[in-house]
Amino acid sequence: MKMERPLNTFMMFMAVLVMLLSAYLVNKSAIENNVSAEYVSDLNLNGARLSDGVYATVKKNSETRGAVGYDTEYEFLITNIGDTTMSNWKIGLTVPTGTVIKNSWDAAINPHLDKNNIVFTPEYYNIDIHSYEAISFGILLNTPEPFSPDFLRFVGYEIVDAKKDLVGPFIIAGIIVWAVVFVGYWVTKFNLRNYKERQQNDVKIILQSMNTFISFIDAKDPYTRGHSKRVAMYAAEIAKRMKLSEDEVQNIYYAGLLHDSGKISIPDAVLNKPGKLTHEERKLIQNHTIAGGKMLKQLSSIRGIRETALYHHERYDGTGYPEGLRGEAIPLYARIVGVADSYDAMSSNRVYRRHLNKDEIIEEIQKGSGSQFDPEIVKYMVDMINDGYVNVVKMETADNEDGSNKFHLTESDIPGVYMGY
Ligand SMILES: [Fe+2]
């Protein structure tokens, strides 16, 4: 099945190529063999021009009465006034019955009499009458009565001038364009497929490396296992709804995955402490932002990773940590991840509380709009809750009564994350 389309395209290409080649060869053969439209014209000999191709005049040089009938000498001039060469021509002249050809001269015309019609045909060397050239010839006729010819019938073939032949170059150009488009299409398609495969492979490697790393964090803090992946998913979905580019969505997903990397620096006893935290312990936990920023400094090839780890706990009103940045001064990725992070915290069980329900979450998030969160981003998050997106990415951790929080989803379940996933 997979081969069918390429095969059809190839067959279509061959068919068009054969058609163009045939047209070209027929055209070429026609030019080479002078096979062109037959030209027929009645030429008025009284000075009136009838045709745009050939013009003729006749001059009666003498007329004498002989022993039998009249001897009359005529001088004909045939001029090609068209743009094309006339070839393989012959001329017909109707004469009275009983006419005899006594003599002929010039232009090596071969007149022969057929009943009451004289046919003039050229010798080989004046078979062609070129554009704006003329031939002349004379004839001495004996006619029973005085005779003045008033028209000739000219029959010839117009030769297509190779220089004026646009059909040939047009067909050749058509073949070249078609071949270039065809080859270009396949080369581009092939390169694009290779590029996409490589890109998908790169994404896979990056994700596997990041997931390996966050499994260390999960091992330290089993109660929030899966948190990073969920935050990444929500953040990517927000970015997608904000109509950010595919690359940005992908980067925000990465940033979401690694936003809590600094947690690895928090002592286990503090991280998993069920009771109330002391001021120092809270400081230690808050320090995961600075630690994360330092750890991820070297991951500069992916935009926004370090800033997100460093600033995802900043608040829109400037009362967050570690630097107290306010509003748009907080990097966009960090603002998005901040909302996604809070949503996941509210929708997951914690050591000290059970998750909030949907309405409570919406209320909390809206309460934080403009103070904790960027109001624009809040709108998207609330939409995602209301339109059921968060049900798409099931909340197992929120619903397990036994406190287990298995995370069943894989990257292939992630809606809105690109590059093959
Ligand atoms: Fe955090």
Q: Which amino acid is at 148?
A: S
139: part of which helix (H) or strand (E)?
A: strand 134-143
**Do residues 74 and 58 touch, judged by C-beta distance below 8 A?**
yes
* CATH of range 197-419; options 3.30.420.40, 1.10.3210.10, 3.90.1150.10, 3.40.50.300: 1.10.3210.10
Q: Taking residues 376-401, what's their average pLDDT?
A: 72
Classify residue 350 by its DSSP letter. Answer: B
pLDDT, tens digit (0-9, with 9 covering 90-100), for 34-49: 556 678 888 888 877 7
User: What integer pLDDT is reported at residue 360 of this predicted model?
Assistant: 87
Distance 262 CA to ligand 1 centre (A): 8
User: What integer pLDDT is reported at residue 353 of this predicted model?
Assistant: 60
**Do residues 79 and 107 touch, judged by C-beta distance below 8 A?**
no
Integer CA distances (angstroms), 160 to 28, 34, 169, in order: 11, 7, 14
Distance 312 CA to ligand 1 centre (A): 7
Distance 337 CA to ligand 1 centre (A): 9
User: What integer pLDDT is reported at residue 404 of this predicted model?
Assistant: 43
> Which region, left, alpha or beta, applies to residue 75 given φ > 0 means left and ψ of -120 to 50 means alpha?
beta
**Do residues 143 and 99 touch, judged by C-beta distance below 8 A?**
yes
Distance 335 CA to ligand 1 centre (A): 12
Q: Is the pLDDT of residue 200 over 60?
A: yes
CA distance 388 to 382: 10
| Integer-rounded Cα radius of gyration of the chain | 47
Distance 306 CA to ligand 1 centre (A): 13
CA distance 86 to 23: 24
Q: H-type helices in 33-119, by residue range?
A: none
Length of the chain: 421
Classify residue 300 by its DSSP letter. Answer: T
**Do residues 420 and 196 touch, judged by C-beta distance below 8 A?**
yes
Tokens 């117009």: give the residue: 158
pLDDT, tens digit (0-9, with 9 covering 90-100), for 237-250: 899 999 998 889 88
Distance 259 CA to ligand 1 centre (A): 6
Q: How is residue 207 written in tokens?
A: 């994700």
CA distance 306 to 337: 12
Distance 203 CA to ligand 1 centre (A): 24
Distance 387 CA to ligand 1 centre (A): 26
What interhelical angle do 167-220 and 4-32 show, nearest 10?
160
Distance 142 CA to ligand 1 centre (A): 122
pLDDT, tens digit (0-9, with 9 covering 90-100), for 255-286: 999 999 998 888 888 887 777 888 998 899 89
Dihedral angle of Cα 379, 381, 384, 387, to the nearest 10 degrees: -40
* Domain boundaries along the sequence of the chain: 4-32+167-181, 36-159, 197-419
Q: How is residue 415 written in tokens?
A: 């809606």
CA distance 312 to 332: 10
CA distance 334 to 373: 10
CA atoms within 13 A on the CB side of 387: 10
Distance 341 CA to ligand 1 centre (A): 7
3-state class (DSSP) for residue 90 = strand
pLDDT, tens digit (0-9, with 9 covering 90-100), for 111-142: 888 888 898 888 777 788 888 899 888 899 99
User: What integer pLDDT is reported at residue 407 of this predicted model?
Assistant: 37
Least confident of 55-64, 145-154, 345-354: 345-354
Strands of 247-377 (E only): list them. Answer: none
pTM for the full predicted model? 0.57
Per-chain mean pLDDT for the chain: 81
Distance 289 CA to ligand 1 centre (A): 7
Classify residue 403 by its DSSP letter. Answer: S
Q: Taking residues 158-180, what's their average pLDDT?
A: 72
CATH code of the region 36-159: 2.60.40.290
CA 178-183-185 angle, to 5 degrees, is 95
Partners of 140 in beta bridges: 73, 103
Q: Which of 52-66, 98-112, 201-215, 307-321 has the highest mean pLDDT?
A: 307-321
Classify residue 219 by its DSSP letter. Answer: H
Q: Residues 223, 285, 252, 305: is their CA dihedral positive or negative?
A: negative
Distance 420 CA to ligand 1 centre (A): 28
Q: How is residue 337 written in tokens?
A: 């991840």
Distance 392 CA to ligand 1 centre (A): 24
Distance 228 CA to ligand 1 centre (A): 9
User: What integer pLDDT is reported at residue 33 of this predicted model?
Assistant: 59
Q: Taking residues 358-387, what's their average pLDDT?
A: 93
Q: Which amino acid is at 273?
A: K
Distance 263 CA to ligand 1 centre (A): 8
End-to-end CA distance of the chain: give it in Å, rounded.
24
Residues 6+ apart with CB under 8 A from 340: 230, 231, 232, 234, 235, 238, 256, 381
User: What integer pLDDT is reported at residue 164 of this predicted model?
Assistant: 56
Q: Is the pLDDT of residue 158 over 70?
A: yes
Dihedral angle of Cα 334, 340, 346, 350, to the nearest 10 degrees: -70
Q: Which of 62-71, 352-361, 403-412 has the highest mean pLDDT?
A: 62-71
